[in-house]
Structure 1
Amino acid sequence: MGVMAKNKFHEGAGPSQRQLRVGETVRRALSDVLARGDVHDTDLNRLSITVGEVRISPDLKIATAYVLPLGGEGQDEVLKLLARNKNELRRQVAKKLTLKFSPDLRFQLDRTFDRMDDTRRMLNQDVVRRDADAPEDDATDGAPDQ
């Protein structure tokens, strides 16, 4: 029960420090490879791609990179180009890493900016601003103020 209980306990605990460290290392290496145009694909090299985050699986074998093209345009094209060049990208990233094995790269669109825009829009709604600006009700316990 010792090993199973330990693994079951850690399932929903979030990424480990090692996963976070490896993810950030892969993010930096991938960003550098894309920025320098180290891949032999002119279609990919003409684009400016932001790598916002890289999440690593617990076994460190799969790296999911959250990417976004500059300006947000051509997102589907970027995913296709990255997928088409993933083996070369993996080799280039591996050269920059000090890991025993290079993780398999997967690519997804980074929706962080979309969520921030949605939140900003929501907070700018009149009803939300009115509720946020309203004075707090001090009568939380039902007793009159003294």
Structure 2
Amino acid sequence: MAKRSHNSGSSGSHRTLRVGEAIRRRLSELLTRGEIHDPDLTAMSITVGEVRVSPDLRVATAYILPLGGGAAGTALEALRRNKGEIRHQIGKALQIKHTPELRFEFDDTFDRMDATRRMFADERVQRDIHHDDDTSDEEE
């Protein structure tokens, strides 16, 4: 009898990553080409940074960011309003047995990166970093 292995890591299984990336690419194509018939979506440029799929492949959460970061609320509302059509288009393109339920969230990755940069630029943090570097040089 073959053993079943379950990947309990936080990054997900190879399959969930593959499905998430396929959904991200197709969703990006739909938005870039204006294939979703909604004036709010065709009027803005939206980046799809990542799509995370649940381990059971039932839910896919797309993290989006409108160009310039503005109008995030409008973009999320429009995507949520059209999620049925988007799900249908993705399912048709990917030819998978069950297309995951789509959820949309604001991608705050760039905001978090900016906050991290600001933190590292703080003189107190710089002092601690340089202090740690000086002590490691002395130990060698």
TM-score range, shorter chain: 0.7 to 0.9
Q: Aligned partners of 2:95 and 2:129: how far apart in 1?
A: 49
TM-superposed deviation, 1:136: 2.9
Q: 1:95 aligns with which of 92, 96, 103?
A: 92
Q: 2:66 aligns with which of 46, 64, 69?
A: 69
* Cα pair 2:40 2:74 within 8 Å, conserved: no
Per the alignment, in what secondary structure is the counterpart of residue 68 of structure 2? Answer: helix
Deviations along 1:45-79, whole A, 9 cap, x unmatched? 11100000000011111110000100000111111
TM-score where L is the length of structure 1: 0.84
Per the alignment, in what secondary structure is the counterpart of residue 72 of structure 1? Answer: coil
Query: 4+ residue runs of structure 1 moved beyond 6 angstroms?
Result: none
* Cα pair 2:62 2:105 within 8 Å, conserved: yes
Percent identity over the alignment is 51
How many equivalent pairs are there? Answer: 135
TM-score where L is the length of structure 2: 0.87
Match of 1:59 in 2: 56
Runs of 5+ unmatched residues, structure 1: none
Max Rg structure: 1
Matched, 1:136 2:131: no
Note the aligned Cα RMSD (angstroms): 2.0
